[in-house]
Amino acid sequence: MDKRKVFDTLVRTGIVPVIRTDSTSDAHAVVEALEAGAVGIAEITMTTPGAIDIIDDLVRTRGERLLVGAGTVTDLDRCLKAIAAGARFIVTPTCELEIVRACVQREICVIGGALTPTEVMENWKAGVTAVKVFPASVFGARYLTMLQEPFPHIPLVPTGGITLENLGDYLRAGAAFVGAGGDLVPKAALRDRKFSRITERARLYVSAVKAARGQMTST
């Protein structure tokens, strides 16, 4: 799958689950729960123990139906290891131009982190596929609307503080899709081994995306 198809899949789904766990087994359980809720995307953060091995295993065992990426990528070495393990997209929390350029050279979908207009433009000039606006909840959906005004050609991906309650606001503000962490994959569900709750949350998120986009189409 080339980077354009990867990006199109992310946009079509509307949600990228940001997965942070304390173990490999939990990461697999979360992915299974998300798939059961019709979300076939997994962003494995580099803060997860054994993240590279998890990516490798998910790609080998679920590669036909699961789109696997690496998140919280802050150094080039781990970026290249994640790509070698089969990650189809790379997400950085900050403006990491060395990582962006390495992904561009390898035709890998890369979502570069930014908060300010200057960082948005620096990422775009370096060749990102999209820009991650993080932490989005600091300024809210109105800020995304304001960024869209000078940068209507740049796909923006709000991440950080995304919830079921505000998801629609960000999509209506022009988000290409969103990154969702703790509200989609609650820490309590992991702690209590209640993975069915994650499946339920995934289904609710899918419904919320459809509802928000339906409203956008009808207006």
**Active-site residue list:** 43, 132
Phi, psi of 148 (to 5 degrees): -65, -30
Query: Using CA atoms, how far apart are residues 125 and 186, in angstroms rounded to an integer?
Result: 36
CA atoms within 13 A on the CB side of 169: 15
CA–CA distance, 102 with 133 (Å, rounded to integer): 21
Length of the chain: 219
Rounded mean pLDDT, 25-41: 96
Q: Rounded CA gap, 5 and 119, in Å?
A: 25
Mind listing the pLDDT tens digit for each residue in 88-134?
Answer: 999 999 999 999 999 999 999 999 999 999 999 999 999 999 999 99
The Cα 20–Cα 185 span in angstroms is 9
- Terminal-residue alpha carbon distance, the chain: 34
- pLDDT one-digit tens code per residue, 133-160: 999 999 999 999 999 999 999 999 999 9
pTM over 0.85: yes
Selected from 3.20.20.70, 3.90.1170.50, 3.40.50.720, 3.30.365.10, the CATH number assigned to the domain covering 3-210 reads: 3.20.20.70
Packing angle, helices 141-148 and 164-172, rounded to 10: 20
